[in-house]
A and B are shown apart, each in its own frame.
Chain A
Amino acid sequence: MNLPIYLDNNATTPMDPRVLEAMLPYFTTKFGNAASRNHPFGWVAEEGVDYAREQVAKLIGASEKEIIFTSGATESDNLAIKGVFEMYKEKGNHIVTTVTEHKAVLDACKHVEKLGGKVTYLPVKEDGLVDLELLEQSMTPETILVSVMYGNNEIGVIQPIKEISAIAHKHGALFMTDAVQAVGKIPVNVNTDGIDLLALSAHKIYGPKGVGALYVRRKGPRVKVTAQMDGGGHERGMRSGTLNVPGIVGLGKACELCGQEMESEAKRLSALRDKLQTSLLELEESYVNGNVEHRLPHVANISFKYVEGEGLMMAMKDLAVSSGSACTSASLEPSYVLKSLGLSDDLAHSSIRFGLGRFTTEEEVDYAIEVTKKSVNHLRELSPLWEMFKEGVDLSKIEWAEH
């Protein structure tokens, strides 16, 4: 077992060697521009792109004509939200999204507000799921788009996508989902799920960084987005720019592998995740954040009360994990996702996200359990809050000097 251990697979994943192998020829011998129609170098590159388009489409139950390659999910989110707003602004100017979305969605929505759009940011329930009644009430005749993420990057909760898209469609709005964390991990199907636009990324599914895709529905209804970059009119005019052929080939291969291995991987990872979670919950005053029934198989977000997350991560120096604490940011604001679950700031500061992946072994999980337990106990020995808790002091009754 090599240290440090990588348990931050929601941030990014290592590339699968099989993906790298598929990509390599496209850097050297098959280097052509996929838009060069008049010689074999271009044709070979285009073939690679076409095949990748089929591989991506297949994973999400789409047609290859509905896949627009981008530089990643941030661009896909931007293109979807700003592109739909521009294209459909005659029809309406209202977008509904949630407070727990990725920043790429939230910030694109803020941009739309500056352009005169109206955006409703739905709160979520304590378990992180969207309140469907509230969504229903938020819909107006002006609503053109509902954008709700498939699986959350911090807590892993899976939204009721079918129900959400049905509500959007009932009110004549399009449904878009940032499915970066879900695609390749759990079955996602644009038709049975009622998805009109979907953002995905290669580097979360063992592919390369710097490439992603936007699914744009072509039939029932035919969806259009206004291009956000002007240029050669690539990707059916929706995304100009010379195609990143090796990256696209890598994304395709990554999707193919996920399609083949997802079912067994999900079982393996959820068993490992459950082992990790069960063991860590043996620690006093530790809590899982977010719904545990509707959750991605490889994620567990756990708060260890009376221990601060960043300090904890420093103790677990051989574990690469992430914390909802933001002691490094100037604002000192903990995770907005955890806060939106109604978690108090101190519990949000005490959270650690464990993200397992394709290359995580049981031995690594066992090591992670041991190190985490040891570190939490060590830091509690140092924690005045833990001491006060043990003495029965009610911490909420103390007048803290906020700084």
Chain B
Amino acid sequence: MAYSDKVIDHYTNPRNVGTLDKSSHKVGTGLVGAPECGDVMRLQIEVGEDNVITDAKFKTFGCGSAIASSSLATEWLKGKSIDDAMKIDNMDIVEELALPPVKIHCSVLAEDAIKAAINDFRVKNGMAPIESEKVHH
């Protein structure tokens, strides 16, 4: 299967690889997926004043599309408010990276990781988690 140029770009030069201090109250961590399924994503956000995301980092165990999806997600998250970040849809990732149908689950995982990171931050800071009612494509 051929990968799109954007997937190859993110895979070859992944943005924002790394680890934030998960014990910090400013940091939200989302760990989604399972080793048995062949992909695990850990996405972390650091949230500053006015609930704006100031930094984002990821580490991913998975195929090229999973790595690219999480790399792209970190790029999109920086500078967004956590409310706007909550609106990132997996299909936006599919479109941006031109993922084929068999790789849509990678984008779903990235969206789940974003939401999990935001909710982790919210809970840490006394806010109620936002339940996602979305049915994935």
Contact = CB atoms under 8 A, between A and B. Distances in A.
A384 interface: yes
Given A311-B67, A403-B105, A403-B109, A384 B41 contact: yes
A332 interface: yes
Interface in A320-346: 325-330, 332, 334, 344-346
Contact of B36 (A327, A329, A344): A344
A382 B35 CA distance: 14
Contacts of A395: 35
A387 B19 contact: yes
Contacts of B77: none
Q: Which of A308, A315, A384 has the most CB of B within 10 A?
A: A384
A259 B35 CA distance: 45
A165 to B, nearest CB: 37
A345 B36 contact: yes
A311 B62 contact: yes
Q: Which of A326, A329, A385 has the most CB of B within 10 A?
A: A385
A402 interface: yes
Interface in B1-33: 1, 3, 11, 14, 17, 19, 31-33
Contacts of A311: 11, 61-64, 66-67
Contact of A314 (B3, B19, B37): B3
A159 B32 CA distance: 40
Q: Which of B31, B36, B38, B42 has the most CB of A within 10 A?
A: B38
Given A314-B11, A329-B102, A400 B63 contact: no
A381 interface: yes
B34 A381 contact: no
Contact of B33 (A306, A309, A387, A400): A400
Interface residues of B, number: 32
Contacts of B32: 401, 403
Contact of A400 (B14, B40, B102, B108): B40
A345 B67 contact: no
A345 B37 contact: yes
Interface string B51-94: 00000000111111011000000000000000000000000000
B40 A382 contact: no
B64 A384 contact: no
Q: Which of A315, A328, A382, A400 has the most CB of B within 10 A?
A: A382
Interface in A362-390: 381-387
A120 B110 CA distance: 42
Contacts of A383: 59-61
A165 B40 CA distance: 45
A349 interface: yes
A62 interface: no
A310 interface: yes
Nearest to A381: B17
Contacts of B17: 381-382
Nearest to B65: A327
Interface of A: 306-311, 314-315, 325-330, 332, 334, 344-346, 349, 381-387, 395, 400-403
Interface of B: 1, 3, 11, 14, 17, 19, 31-42, 59-64, 66-67, 102-103, 105, 108-109, 112
Given A311-B67, A345-B38, 8 more contacts: A308-B39, A311-B63, A314-B64, A346-B35, A382-B59, A400-B34, A401-B112, A402-B34
25 contacts: A306-B61, A309-B38, A310-B64, A311-B11, A311-B62, A314-B11, A314-B64, A327-B39, A328-B1, A328-B103, A346-B36, A349-B38, A381-B17, A382-B17, A382-B59, A382-B60, A382-B67, A383-B59, A384-B31, A385-B61, A387-B59, A400-B40, A401-B34, A402-B36, A403-B109
Q: Which 7 A-B pairs have the closest CB atoms?
A: A400-B34, A346-B35, A345-B36, A384-B42, A384-B59, A310-B63, A314-B64
